[in-house]
Each structure stands twice: as C-alpha cells, then as structure tokens.
Structure 1
Amino acid sequence: MKLYYTPKSHFARKNRILIDALSLEVELVDAGNVADSTPEIFANNPLMKVPTLVDGHQVIYESDHIAAYLVRKFDPTDSYQVLTNDVNQLNLRAVMNGVMTAEVELIMAERSGINTQHLKRFDKLRATVTQGMNWLENQADLFPQQPSYAGFHLICLWDHLLLYQMFQLKHPHLQQHIEKLSGFDCVVKSTPL
C-alpha cells in the first residue's frame, strides 16, 4: 500500500497516525507541492489533493474514507472508533474537517499572493475557524478519554493551527485532550516540523 501525502498535511496526518496505531506497513509517497496541478503526483486523484491511498488496484480518496477502508480491512474491532455512527462523534468530525478546510483555503490564498484581509469570503473562513474551534471547546467532553480517531483528528487540527500561527489557540479543554495524546508514539512520529 502507498499513501500519497505531504509532511504538513493535517488531513494526511490523520491517516498516518491511524496507520502507525494499527502497525500497518504503508509506503509514504510525498506528493511535493500541493499547489501543483499534475494529477499524477496525487496518484491520479481527480481532486489533486492529498491524501490518496493506493492498495493494489484500489484507490481511495479523502482522509476519512481512507481511515474507514483501513479499519474495515485491518481492524475489524474498530479499536479507534473510525466507523462510529454516533451523531455527536460525526459532528465533531464534520466541524474539525470544516475548520481544517477553511484554514487551508486561507493558507493557499496567502501563498498565492492574495491579500485576504477585508474580503468577505476570507473573513468568513476566519470566522469559520474561530467559531469552529469555540464550538469544539464547548463540546470537548465528547472527545473519548482513550486514544480515538476523534482525538487523532483533533491533534492534527491543533498542531496544524500551531504550525501556521494564523489563529490564537485559547481552548483549555481541548488542550487537555491534546496533552494526553501528545506522548503516544503514533502521534509523535508524524508531528509536523
């Protein structure tokens, strides 16, 4: 199996942590510049994004679909609650994915030279991140106390926000969960530089 990723991608990192937690042998293929528009470097993902998982002739797009595929194939007991149908857990996932996507759009716009200040579209993205993080802080008790996919997701989001320093993180309840997870080998191994 091969996972097409970039070292700083928080979406791909969710998969990398799960792969390491499950002790799976997966080759990591760095796609390089995520602004590149060559489908081949993304394993021919038509969205030209990471992550993409290639397992023989099977190609899987999108981090949560990749996680579900890996768990169905290699972890029938679903040790980290990837396949949950719990609405609260799915809402946590939806908000985290939304915050992550909004942050990436802001980063990519600024990298391409767009002044994102005082433009309604980008103001809304900043509000999405702020409101999303505040919502997660208010729902922090929904994160399982034991290592879980929701927790892996949270630490990927948190570390990415720290890395790019576009937002202040004043969320003590979330930080408690981060501190619990930060020492696990499967988390440490993929910490962005």
Structure 2
Amino acid sequence: MMINFQDIYHNGRDQDHTQSWMSEPFKGFSLDSRYVQHGQIFIALTSYSQPEKTRQFAQAALDKGALAVISETDLGIAPALVCPQVRRLMGQWQKQYLQATTPVQAVRVLAVTGTNGKTTISRLVAELLTLQNKKCAVMGTTGNGILPHLEVSSHTTLDALHLQNLMHDFALQGAEFASIEASSHGL
C-alpha cells in the first residue's frame, strides 16, 4: 500500500500547512544523506557540533532524489518543511509509515534504563521470555536480534528511525516481545 506524508503529518492536525509534495507517495524516511534513496523524505537534524553542515546534507539528499526535507530550522531550500519537534515525532512517523505499507502486530516493548545493569537485566528478561516459549528480540550493547541470533549494534539505543525499522522487522519475524536497553542518551 502506498502512503503519503500528508496522511501521517495531518493525523489530527490543522490542514493549512499542506505542500504539494506531501500528497505524493513516498518511500520512508532517512537520516543520512549518503544513503538517502529516491522518493524518501530526508530528516535533517541540526548538528550540535557542525550546524553549518545541516543545509549541505539536506541539499545532498535532494540532489540524490529525496522527495523533500524536514528540518528543525529553516534551511532555505525546497521542497521542505520546518518542524521544530521533528526529533520527537520522527519515530512515530516511521512507525505509521511501516504499518501503512506492511501491517504487523507490534511487539510489546520492555525497556530497561538506569546507570548500571541495563545489559544484564534486559538480557535476563529476554532469556526468561524465551524459556516461556515467547519469541523475544533483544536490542542493546550485546547486539540486536531475536534470541539466540544477535547482530552487532552500533549503539546501545538506536536512533528513532532505525529502532522502529528493527521493531517492525522483529514483528515480521514473529517476535512477541522486545527487551531493550534504553540509554539516557538514546532516550
């Protein structure tokens, strides 16, 4: 099924901010201009260390075929949408996109946070659920995957887009639960 950004963005919102690209079908979101694919919407998060490069990354994404750019501030490029709360919304947008294109029963998430013991507790929870014949995914320091098959992870807690992609993938593989380490930085 095809979906457009207008369906996601205007979900309960005022319709005055509609732009023509919002009604076109799109192919998901990307946070990395190097890997953006034709038809995706590029989310340009302002770099805290190099804010001047944000516009360059956004333009590079458009040059590669991004449908549009969503940024926290006005970058002076088009087509674009300024959405100051994009960091808070992008995970929900990705989840809505994935459910619209390939509906699944979402996994139940058990998140562990704190100073010490996240890895141990999240893994023990996953092991206990697995012993109860419940298919459980793990996300964190020891890797990501459905037990016992884990792949190396680049971060303890992934960014919102990658987290939603993995959760959706785990559900497609039949996982009922996901036990994740939720680092304070990731939250």
User: Going by fraction, where is strand more abundant, 1 or 2?
Assistant: 2
Bigger relative contact order, structure 1 or 2 (CA pairs below 8 A, ≥6 apart): 1
Q: Give me the TM-score of the superposition, normalised by structure 2.
A: 0.27
With structure 1 as the length reference, what TM-score do the two structures score? Answer: 0.27
Q: Which has the higher helix share?
A: 1
Bigger Rg over Cα? 2
